[in-house]
Amino acid sequence: MKLTKLLQCQGFGTRRECAALVLDGRVEILGEEASDPDMEVSSQNLSFKIDGEAWCYREKAYVMLNKPAGYECSQRPKHHPSVLSLLPIQFRNRGLQTVGRLDEDTTGLLLLTDDGQFLHIYTSPKKNIAKVYRATVKHPLTDAQLTALCAGVVLHDDPEPVVAQSAIARDAHTLELTVTGGKYHQVKRMVAAVGNRVEALHRERMGEFCLPPDLKSGEWCYVEPDRAS
């Protein structure tokens, strides 16, 4: 693959912009400054540097973000900044999309990718991908509320009960709720349906992915999914 094409597919700009990066001496390949934009390079296990910052070639990108409150999961946000503004511009250039959405005030694990197959697997209701949330609730939790969540509650827009896979009280005001699907404001509405109210919501796990304890709010990292195509 020509160097300019490789840089372009990794999100470093148009082909002309990527050629300029090389001609300006800003690209290193295998520890040496690249000078020819049309040089042939192997993408296999390739590490390169742009302006001294190390990057690895990835045919598909899989990113985990610890989403802070006050950000929208949209490329065209209406009221708050997009979560994409928290990532390097290279990811936006290569078309990363959020894998599902979190409300603007919900925090925690958010996946982003440019792999359409992976996106489909993790957003399809038929796949039943489990999601684990930590909800801070207004009123003390009761056994009756936990039982009702696992038995199923009816939401206004769906006659079929929505069932939690598990509902555990970590303490009087902290609920660990595991659900599948992704209905609008699902967790908040489920909790409301049993007579309580979500004051804060944080996603800790999604499918095979668990939010690392050292990934701070607003930070991101690469992940390597088992289901990656």
Answer yes or no: do 52 and 66 share one domain. no
The residues, ordered by sequence, that sit 6+ positions from 40 with a Cβ below 8 Å of its Cβ are 1, 2, 3
pLDDT for 228: 40
pLDDT of residue 210 exceeding 60 = yes
Active site residues: 103
29 and 80, same domain (yes or no): no
Is the pLDDT at 227 greater than 70? The verdict is: no
Contact of 199 with 137, CB cutoff 8 Å? yes
Range of 14's domain?
3-56
Provide the domain count of the chain: 3
**Identity of the amino acid at 170:** R
User: Between residues 158 and 198, which one has the greater pLDDT?
Assistant: 198
Whether 140 and 186 map to the same domain: the answer is yes
Q: What is the pLDDT of residue 229?
A: 36
What does the DSSP assignment read for 54-66?
EEE--SS-EEEEE
Instruction: State yes or no: pLDDT of 209 exceeds 90.
Output: yes
- Same domain flag for 135 and 202: yes
What is the rounded CA–CA span in Å between residue 218 and residue 84?
11
Kindly give the residue spans of alpha helices, DSSP state H, lying in 68-125.
89-93, 116-123
Question: What would the pLDDT profile of 80-137 be if each residue is shown by its tens digit?
Answer: 999 999 999 999 999 999 999 999 999 999 999 999 999 999 998 888 899 999 999 9
Among candidate residues 14, 36, 56, the one where a domain is terminated: 56
228 assigned to some structural domain: no
